Every structure is written in C-alpha cells, then in structure tokens.
Amino acid sequence: MSLAKHGSAPTSLTSVSMGRKVKDRLVQVLVYLAFALAVIPLVSVLWMVIKNGIGRFDLDFFSFSQNGIGPRDAGGGAYHAIIGTLEQVLLTSVMAVPLGILTAVYLVEYGQDRRLARTISFFVDVMTGIPSIVAGLFILAFWLLLLGFSFSGFAGALALAILMLPTVVRSAEEMLKLVPNELREASFALGVPRWRTVCFVVLPTALSGIVSGVMLAVARVMGETAPLLLLVFVTSSINMNPFSGPQMALPVFIWDQAGQPNDTAIARAWTAALTLILIIMALNLTARLIARLRRPASR
Amino acid sequence: MAKRIEVSGLHAYYGQVHAIEDISMSVEPRSVTAFIGPSGCGKSTFLRTLNRMHEVIPAARVEGKVLLDSEDLYGSEVDPVAVRRVVGMVFQRPNPFPTMSIYDNVAAGLKLNGMRGKSRLDEVVERSLRGANLWNEVKDRLNRPGAGLSGGQQQRLCIARAIAVEPQVLLMDEPCSALDPISTLAIEDLIAKLKEHYTIVIVTHNMQQAARVSDRTAFFNIAGTGQPGRLIEVDDTSKIFTNPVEKATEDYITGRFG
Ligand SMILES: Nc1ncnc2c1ncn2[C@@H]1O[C@H](COP(=O)(O)OP(=O)(O)O)[C@@H](O)[C@H]1O
Ligand SMILES: [Mg+2]
C-alpha cells in the first residue's frame, strides 16, 4: 500500500484493506477460542466437584470425624481433616510468609546485586524446583529420623513451608519491584530512613499484590498430599493438637476415601474436594477484602 | 531559617561515568537560583548532590565539598538522612504516595519520623497546604487519596509535603515540566512566595520561567556526549539573560543550540 505517493488517488479514511480485515477477524477468533479452551477444564472441574460433592455437603460432614465409621457406612465427615488442614496451613504460613516477605524485602530493597543477594536468589530458584515428595523426605530424614520427633501436623507444616517459601519470595519480589522508585526517593527526600520507607511506603503500596501472591501460595500448599502422608500420617479421629500425633488433612482425606471401592466413601471424597475449593476461595476473598479495606487512607 | 550553600570542587560519578566535573558556586539564602542547560548536562545530578540523594543510586558517588552555612554535607560525621530533612526536594513528576490520603501525604514526613499528636499534625498540614496554595482546593477532602488530584494539584501537594518538614533549602527538579500553563503559573507564584522563607534552587528547561522566577541563574553545558557536565557561568539572572560573559551562554539563551 503506497501512501498515494505516486499520484494515485488518496486512500480513503474509511476503507481498510480486505486482507487486514480478515487478519483482524482471524486473530479475534483465535483469541476467543484460546480463552474458551482455557475455561473448559476450569468449568468442568468445578461442575464435576459440585455435582458429585453436593450430596454429602451436609451438617454431619462438617461436625463429625470418621471415627468408627467404615468405608461402607454412610454418614461420617471430614471435621478432623478440616481442622488438620487449617492448623497445618496456618503453621506453614506463620513460618513461610514472614520469612518469604523479609527475604524479598532484602533482595529488592537492600541486596542491590550484592553477592549474598545473588546467592539467595539462586537458592530460591533451586527451592522452587523441589518436588513435594522430596521436601517431605527431607523433613522425614531430618525431623523424624535424625531428631527423633514423631508424626505431627507440625512436621507436615515444616515440609509445606519449604514448598511455600520460594513462591512467597518470588511473588513478593515481583510486587516490590513494581513499586516505582520515585516513591522511595520521595520518602528519602523527606529525611525518612530506609527501613521506615520500606515499612510505611513500599510495603503498603505493594500490599494487595503481595496478598494475592501469598494466597496463591496458600492455595497451592493446601492441596499438597505427599509430604503429609509421610509426616502427618492418616487418622480417622479428631486431633486438635498439631504438635503431637497423626492428624488428618483434606487432601489426604480425599486420597484415603477415593481409594475405597464404596460409593459412600467416594461421595465423601467429592465433598471433601468441594470443601477444599471453598476454603481456598473463602480465604482468597477475605484476603482481598482486607487488602481493600486497608487501602483507602484516612486520618 | 534559610541557609547559604557553598559548593567547591564538586565531582559526581555514576560508577565509571563522570557526570559532572569540578563545580564551584554559591547559592544565597532567601533567593531563587535557576539551573539551565541542555539535557544531559548534569543539572539533576548536581541538584541531587545538594541533599545527598545522588548516593541513593547504586554505585553513584560524589567528591568535593558542599557547605551548608559552613557545615560540610559530605563530612564523615554527617548522616545523609538528617541532611535530607534540612534540604527538601520536589521532583519532576508529581509523586504523591498512592496509598495515602491528602492529609497523610502532607503529614508523611513528620509521621514517618515519629511525630504524634493529632492537633499538632492538623496544624502543620493546614499550614503546609496553605503555604503551597492548595488549602482552599482540598480542605473539604483531606481524607481522599492524594492520587485523585490533578497533576498541578499533585505537584503542589508534593511541595506541601516537602515544606511540612520545615527544610531550610528547597530543591526543585523541573517541577513544572509535566504541568499545563495554568498550573505552571500557580507553581511560579508559589515559588515567589516561598522565597521569603527558603533558599530555593530550581532546574528548568523553560528560559522564560528562569527569567520570571529566579534571582540568579547558573548555566551548565556539556562538551560532547560522554563528557562530564560543567558549570559555564553563574550570575544575576538579569545579567545572564542580557549580557552573559560566555559565548556559549548567549548561544544557548538565544536558542542558537541546545
Ligand atoms: N541513574 C543514572 N545512571 C547512570 N548515568 C546517569 C544516571 N542518571 C543520569 N546519568 C547520566 O548523567 C548525565 C547527567 O544527567 P542528568 O543529571 O540527568 O542531566 P540533566 O538533568 O541536566 O538533563 C547524563 O549523561 C546521564 O546519562
Ligand atoms: Mg534532569
């Protein structure tokens, strides 16, 4: 398309060449198609879990454990597994979130490409690649076999923390890097020391992003099964104390019930899956709400 | 409370890059000094050496002396954080803290340095906003986010934020270059008013602005790309604009280059 350079009639402003229109349409169709393809698994998983899980989504499920209930029996519930999952993931987060955020703060605000920062960054990358079973075996060898502690929710939380840490570091690091340098400079120029700048300017600015990153990490860790089988073991009764004795967790409960041949057990597995999804969604929503409520500044 | 600045033999580097070379000049208290010169000649770099903001950039360093009423800012005992409380700064692009309200933006410097007490803070916030000619526009919405203001209002908010900590010197790096003519006039009026209390240094690309607001003007230039920037001459603004000593200054002011 020469731009009317050689004396040809000036191209009109409204007519776009045919080829360009076709290309535009084609790309549009491809984009919609890709979106639909990406949504199919999501919707079908949700649909299957809701359809199969709604049957046992009753009060019993949330108030009873599996104590004294065999795979064939109706009733029973996942109360013990819900308690276990919540306690284990809480312990995991208490360990991994502050450590991860502080590491990210060091890398972005203080490290400035020093050798220590580069080394830490390298090991965070290595940690990202650790398979969950390996983290579980490491804690098994270290905490249970070497130090002689026995099964507990806390042992499981240690392994989960290893898995959660690199995710938190990486996502918090990305969010901190997004904070414009101008804000740090504005704060320094007011005579505010670096640590206060980090606490009161940089972290609040990155807060909602960090919260989403942490929630993703929590969601990922909440579905881990392998390390818990090694370190927390399975039980059908309620154990409120995460520091001693086997505990149940939702993913382990799902694995346990889904492995039984009976419809009653399989129905419980579906409901547990639905519960797990709902817990993660609820946590996500609360976190977002908190991040939003904190945002509008007031006196 | 305004202070005099005396710079001697100042060099600034970014790693291996020699950005400004051997600058010596003085800035009088309660006056406006304008820095002019082509882009890249080191005006911002020089400005940032005056409140030790230069060294915030990794690998950046400074040689030479900057005396603030006879106290060397680069003395070994001196805390850069304390220097920045005395020598405030306003940046080219308005940069209010996005998570804070208008009120909190102005109070930020005091709050972050540990000042408490609502009535005292209220008083400082009102005084600073009045000082920045912004009070009447925002007094009914102090709790709204600072980022919701127009560009010119945001820049005046940043000026209010800077004067809230009661500095003695105020450095401004092209404070109007992102603003429309009306907001620019508002800021220029403000500079004329602030000059009664502060020592002001302003970098500007706008000759008319330099002529309008400043008492003294410093012209900087660069011999070529990769060369360090140098101070060519500094004198009363009227002298620089009508009868400069250096040929380069005259060429620049009459628009023959740069
Ligand atoms: N952060 C930086 N890192 C490396 N070099 C820089 C940096 N900032 C500025 N410079 C260099 O220093 C010189 C002076 O820049 P600057 O002070 O911004 O000039 P001006 O404000 O007069 O336009 C330029 O050559 C620029 O490339
Ligand atoms: Mg500049």
Structural domains in chain B? 5-253 (3.40.50.300)
Q: From ligand 1's centre to the CA of A98, what distance in Å?
A: 37
Residue A87 near residue A242 (C-beta atoms within 8 A): yes
Confidence of residue B113 (pLDDT cuts 50, 70, 90): confident
CB contact under 8 A, B143 and A201: no
Size of interface A-B (CB pairs under 8 A): 91
CB contact under 8 A, A185 and B118: no
In this structure, the answer to whether residues A269 and A148 fall within a common structural domain is yes
Picking from A24, A40, A56, the residue at the C-terminal end of a domain is: A56
Residues of A in contact with B97 (CB under 8 A): 183, 186-187, 201, 205
Q: What is the CATH number of the domain that holds A256?
A: 1.10.3720.10
Residues of A in contact with B78 (CB under 8 A): none
Confidence of residue B238 (pLDDT cuts 50, 70, 90): very high
Residue B33, helix vs strand vs coil: strand
Q: From ligand 1's centre to the CA of B42, what distance in Å?
A: 6
pLDDT of residue B1: 62
Model pLDDT for residues A169-184, shown as the tens digit of each residue: 999 999 999 999 999 9
In this structure, the answer to whether residues A115 and A257 fall within a common structural domain is yes
Q: What residues line ligand 1, using a CB cutoff of 6 Å?
A: B 14, 17, 19, 37, 39-45, 57, 229
| Dist CA B185 CA B99 (whole Å) | 28
Percentage above 90 pLDDT, chain A: 81
CB contact under 8 A, A296 and B97: no
Q: Per-residue pLDDT averaged across A106-130, rounded?
A: 93
Please state, rounded to an integer, the average pLDDT across all residues of chain B.
92
Å from A185 to nearest chain B CA? 8
| Dist CA A284 CA B81 (whole Å) | 39
In this structure, the answer to whether residues A226 and A102 fall within a common structural domain is yes
Picking from A35, A56, A77, the residue at the C-terminal end of a domain is: A56
Q: Per-residue pLDDT averaged across A207-230, rounded?
A: 92
Confidence of residue A19 (pLDDT cuts 50, 70, 90): confident
* Beta carbons within 8 Å of A87's beta carbon, 6+ residues apart: A153, A240, A242, A247
Residue with the two structure tokens 């409120």: A240
In this structure, the answer to whether residues A94 and A163 fall within a common structural domain is yes
- Strands B87-90 and B5-14 come out as unpaired
In this structure, the answer to whether residues A110 and A153 fall within a common structural domain is yes
Model pLDDT for residues A84-105, shown as the tens digit of each residue: 999 999 999 999 999 999 999 9
CB contact under 8 A, B98 and A205: yes
Residues of B in contact with A186 (CB under 8 A): 91, 95, 97, 158, 161
In this structure, the answer to whether residues A47 and A63 fall within a common structural domain is no
Percentage above 70 pLDDT, chain A: 94
pLDDT of residue A151: 94
Q: Per-residue pLDDT averaged across A137-141, rounded?
A: 96
| Dist CA A234 CA A151 (whole Å) | 10
Model pLDDT for residues B32-88, shown as the tens digit of each residue: 999 999 999 999 999 999 999 999 998 999 999 999 998 999 999 999 999 999 999
Look up residue B13 and give its two tokens: 């580097």
Percentage above 70 pLDDT, chain B: 98
State CA B93 to chain mean position distance.
12
pLDDT of residue A3: 47
DSSP character for A274?
H
Residue nearest (by alpha carbon) to ligand 1 atom 9 = B45
In this structure, the answer to whether residues A45 and A136 fall within a common structural domain is no
Please state, rounded to an integer, the average pLDDT across all residues of chain A.
91
Shortest-distance ligand to the CA of residue B42: 1
CA atoms within 13 A on the CB side of B45: 28
Q: Say how many C-beta atoms besides its own lie within 10 A of residue A186's C-beta.
A: 26
Shortest-distance ligand to the CA of residue B58: 1
Look up residue A279 and give its two tokens: 């817990």
Indicate the range of A4-18, B2-16, B78-92 predicted with least confidence.
A4-18
Interface test with A, best of B99, B165, B201 (most A CBs within 10 A): B99
In this structure, the answer to whether residues A51 and A87 fall within a common structural domain is no
Residue A14, helix vs strand vs coil: coil
Q: From ligand 2's centre to the CA of B20, what distance in Å?
A: 13
pLDDT of residue A2: 45
Number of domains in chain A: 2
Residue A105, helix vs strand vs coil: helix
Residues of B in contact with A114 (CB under 8 A): none
Residue A13 has pLDDT above 90, yes or no: no
Task: Print burial letters for A209-228: b (CB count within 10 Å at least 16), e (below 16).
Answer: bbbbbbbebbbebbbbbbbb
Tell me which residue range forms the domain holding A19. 2-56
In this structure, the answer to whether residues A99 and A244 fall within a common structural domain is yes
Residue B175, helix vs strand vs coil: coil
